[in-house]
Structure 1
Amino acid sequence: MSQFEVVRDPLWNNIHLDREALAVVDTPAVQRLRYVRQLGHAFLVYPGATHTRFEHALGAYHLARRALTQLEESGARIEPRDAQRIRLAALLHDIGHYPFSHALEEAGLPAHEGLAQRHLADGALAAALAELGVSADSLLALIRGPEGGGGEAREPLAGLVAGSLDMDKLDYLSRDAWMCGVPYGVIDVDRLLASLTLAAGRDGRPTVAVHEKGLAALESLLFAKYQMYRNVYWHHAVRSATVMFKRLVRRALADGHLRADDVAVATDDGLLQELQGRDATGLACALRERRLAKRAVDAPATDLPDDTADWPAGDPDLLERVEGRLAREVGLHPGELFLDFPAKPAMLGLDLPLVRRDGSVAQLSGGEAAAHLGLPRVAAELYRSARRLRVFTLRPAAVPEVKIIDLVCAPREDVAARLGSERALL
């Protein structure tokens, strides 16, 4: 009898699931991911973007297997139990993911990595891990990464699960581009995997590193991420659907029609049906029928100062109050205006060792990374241009762009004070 089950995948062709992976995959917590789309509302723009967290999880597992094999072939000594935990952590890295991509985290719910513990304690999944002799806590630490994990998050191989060059990124950028039918997410995955090695990190302990021969492939990863944010993840119609959905969820939570605990275990269609059944405003129906809010303001982040406040992305309660006041000031009804300035991702968020051809080790991080990679000076501006400040409205309205920019640039405390004093925002 074969030790593997072969799954056909449109991106990686054959994915070989070993006995341990099969035991984990065949649990309700993992099967739920079949019904959680990877890109949320992006399918409203790119019809092919209906792929799910489930196939992405299989892809991350597949790449983790390949990476471990490459590291062993390059001379790294990897204990079988360590390899097992890395493979399973890659498979389960999105186990706590909400429906509709990251929209619910933007709405103020806890980050999905923090919910992984609940799913890892699921009866069938917990039993499967116990049968395999794998500690759920050790997997949780790997999934949460260095900022939220324990000792396991700092072990040499942890960067394959949560790091600058983790298998999650390699799969989702490649898979999202493939399923959307766009040429933007082209990454030289084979070259990147072939350049993986272990080297001393900042603290002197061994960690996942990249050999100098893989720099061109690493550049392809960075630019793929930028292009996917600019053209797919932050496409104006995707963001319009996202802000409408966030409004629905926050309203349902505030009214007591929805509990955060229920959202954490829901599926895309199940949650949308629940929202539509409770929504008296017609917003859920408009979202399902793709009657999206239109742009009244659309300004690149390059038009804003570098030190612009991030309260629109970091304070959903204040944002909702601001949206209500703005709607009134431009002649709209409450709930007809949405302000969107998504949190800036770490586009050049590299922090890993670079092994030069002479064997010396340099640290790739921040501007130092850009210098080593030979990225043009304009790279930072390109990444800023991917991020846009937008105002969407359900009915036509004149919204002054300059005053919106001034408002977003104001400190959180000043904005809150203006709301409290009834001073006009525009």
Structure 2
Amino acid sequence: MEIIGFEKVFNDNIHGHIILHPLCVAIIDTPEFQRLRNIKQLGTTYLVYPCASINRFEHSLGVCHLAGEMLNALCKNCNNEIFVTEEEILCVKLAGLCHDIGHGPFSHTWERFLTTAGINWKHEECSIQMLKYIIQKYDLMKEFKRYGLDESYHIELICEFIRGYGKILPSEKYFLYQIISNKDNGIDVDKWDYFLRDGKSLNLSISFDYKRLIQFSMVVVDPNSNPSKKVIAFRNKEARNIYDMYRVRSDLHLRAYQHRAVQNTEIMLIDILLKAEKCCTVQTPCGTKYSLTEAHTNIDAMSRLTDHILYDIQYSVDPNLEEARSLLNRLLTRHLYKFVGSYNLNFVNPSICDNVIDVEKLKINLKEQLEKAFEVQFGIAATWLNCGAPVTDPLRNVIFFKKPTCGSKIIHLDNTPYYSLYPLQKLEFFKREITVFCKMLKVNNENLEKFDAFSKRYLENFKP
């Protein structure tokens, strides 16, 4: 595939100088992609860690770069014996670039805001809608076609790569679905980039080495399924490195993403958005106005939403936004909700951890019982850690291979049960904790103790 336009060099503080394809540059240079510069990657974490103000923009560029690096290594390590077209490689890069363009203000906080409002919405599907919207709005399909990308086949393939699953590719190319969003074991370039990027902004050490994982990766036939299904495998000596990757994820969640103060500020921000929901609107060029809980239903409205809505509330003189402004001022002046208590369910009620339960329902029920008993408003947060994979022991789903013998092209898989050699500690990797906050501005210690005792008793007696 001949590169017709101009590649662009970006100086990234994580990966150094990275070169992106002209088609990627065409998407980057749209206002809809540029809006990612104004969407904080870590939500309200910057209110606790002052330097955690990185945005989705630079993360998206990093994932695009790593996707290309991963594919280059896989082709090289397999002696170019895996057949991947240049068009498919470009599709993977585009998926890495666009996997987060559907995020709302303050990233995952926006999803939690909509969940609190009773709306089931996922940013991945919005990213797919936003990509199609950009292509249509700026007539980019002709640019896609210049590089051999078909309007129906390849656009849908990019969407499948964003989701991390699909039916377009045959099982021999299943490994391409594992690069951006790996649903099998959570090892993907999206996590590698945000671990490094977030760790640097949070000033937290990142111990695992993603460059080694890339260099010691190969495509092999999956021994656990269809004989023709090919997946990404890693050298057996990288088992400890992968274990460290899962540990880093857990550490970032415990020390930053789900830090008690971060949970507190996020609950306050969600309350601010709920109070401003009807009066703080988004208007499209055709004149239609959407409330904050309606904007996701129109991709044009969604493309106009960034973190700026907080400033719209803060500097508004609309009397209908007075309650939201007052709470926002309380957040910015650090008059946070009062901490009541944190309850590690591994100790308080292990039966909750051993069952599949609706965590949101548990939070709602506890909140309702507390408010009914004390006639005071409460905020409930849940720390529900996993390893970014759908199983409780993702190492079991990682395929390892042995070092090839000199001159041999035959790859032997390693069946050593590394999940037993490097067991993921339940309390560290799968923490189950409920944290309660009281929303009163002033509350005495005696009442806090009553709230604490009630919460603990409720969780002790909760029946999954």
TM range (shorter): 0.7 to 0.9
Aligned mate of 2:422, from 375, 383, 405: 375
1:220 aligns with 2:244: yes
Say if 2:363 is the partner of 1:327.
no
Which of 398, 423, 433 pairs up with 1:388? 433
1:157 alignment partner, SS class: helix
Is residue 2:163 matched to residue 1:144?
A: yes
CA apart distance, 1:279: 4.9
Q: Distance in 2 between matches of 1:94 and 1:112?
A: 7
Shift in Å, 1:125: 6.5
CA distance 1:313–1:289, shift in 2 (3 Å): farther
Partner residue, 2:7? 4
Report the identity percentage: 22
CA distance in structure 1 between the aligned counterparts of 2:18 and 2:437, rounded to whole angstroms: 42
The answer as to whether partners of 2:23 and 2:143 remain within 8 angstroms in 1 is no
The aligned residue for residue 211 of structure 1 is 235
SS in 1 for 2:385: coil
Q: Give the equivalent residue in structure 1 for 2:51.
A: 48
The 1:341/1:310 distance shift into structure 2, 3 A limit, reads farther
The answer on 1:71 being equivalent to 2:74 is yes
Distance (whole Å) between structure 1 residues aligned to residue 365 and residue 278 of structure 2: 14
After TM superposition, give the deviation of residue 391 of structure 1 in Å.
Answer: 0.6
Q: Give the deviation of 1:188 after TM superposition.
A: 0.6
**Hey, what's the Cα distance between the residues in 1 that align with 2:279 and 2:358?**
23
Counterpart-to-counterpart distance in 2, 1:275 and 1:301: 37
CA distance in 2, matches of 1:384, 1:405: 20
In 2: Cα distance, 1:171 partner to 1:187 partner: 12
Distance in 1 (alpha carbons) for counterparts of 2:18 and 2:343: 43
RMSD between superposed Cα atoms in Å: 3.0
Which of residues 192, 195, 220 in structure 2 aligns to 1:199?
220
Structure 1 residue 229 displacement after superposition: 0.8
Q: How does 1:166-315 map to 2 (within 5 A)?
A: 166-183=188-205, 185-201=206-222, 202-204=224-226, 205-253=229-277, 258-262=291-295, 264-276=302-314, 277=316, 278-280=321-323, 282-303=326-347, 304-308=349-353, 313-315=359-361
Displacement, 1:406? 4.6
Provide TM-score, normalisation by structure 1.
Answer: 0.83
Q: Could you tell me how far apart the structure 2 residues matched to 1:153 and 1:314 are? A: 37
Residue type matched to 2:168 in 1? G
Runs (4+) of structure 1 exceeding 4 A deviation are 251-257, 274-277, 308-312, 318-322
Q: Which amino acid aligns with 1:100?
A: F
Query: 2:130 & 2:304 partners in 1: Cα distance?
Result: 12
The amino acid across from 2:96 in the alignment is A
- Which amino acid in 2 is paired with 1:118? Q
d(CA) in 2 for partners of 1:344 and 1:30? 30
Equivalent position to 2:458, from 407, 416, 420: 407
Q: Match of 1:162?
A: 181
Change (3 A) 1:300 1:275: farther
Offset of residue 85 of structure 1: 0.7
CA offsets, 1:123-164, max 9 Å, x none?
456632552134332211111122xx4435963211001102
Deviation at 1:383, TM superposition (A): 1.7
Superposition TM-score, scaled by structure 2 size? 0.77
- C-alpha distance in 1 between matches for 2:313 and 2:195: 30
Task: Give the letter aligned to residue 262 of structure 1.
Answer: A
SS in 1 for 2:140: helix
- Greater CA drift, 274-283 or 25-34: 274-283
| Cα deviation digits, residues 359-391 of structure 1 (max 9, x gap) | 333689xxx6522xx2146x2222234x43111
Match of 2:123 in 1: 112
- 1:100 maps onto 2:106 in alignment: yes
Partner of 2:286: none
CA contact (8 A) 1:34 1:52 kept: yes
SS of residue in 2 equivalent to 1:122: helix
Q: Tell me the CA shift for residue 2 of structure 1.
A: 9.3
Counterpart CA distance in 1 for 2:192 and 2:13 is: 15
**Secondary structure in structure 2 of the residue aligned to 1:269:** coil
> Structure 2: which amino acid aligns with 1:241?
T
2:402 to 353, 356, 362: 356
- Structure number with greater Rg is 2
Can you give the 5+ residue segments of structure 1 that lack an aligned partner in the other structure?
413-426
- Structure 1 residue 297: Cα displacement: 0.7
Supply the AA of the counterpart residue of 1:404.
Answer: S
* CA distance 1:391–1:130, change in 2 (3 Å): farther
Matched, 1:131 2:148: no
Residue-by-residue CA offset, 1:317-357 (whole Å, 9 max, x unaligned): x845753552352353x4xx201114433355453422234
Q: Which amino acid aligns with 2:419?
A: A
CA displacement, residues 303-323 of structure 1 (integer Å, 9 cap, x when unaligned): 2314347767434xx845753
Deviation at 1:270, TM superposition (A): 2.1
Cα 1:384–1:319 shift into 2, 3 Å: closer
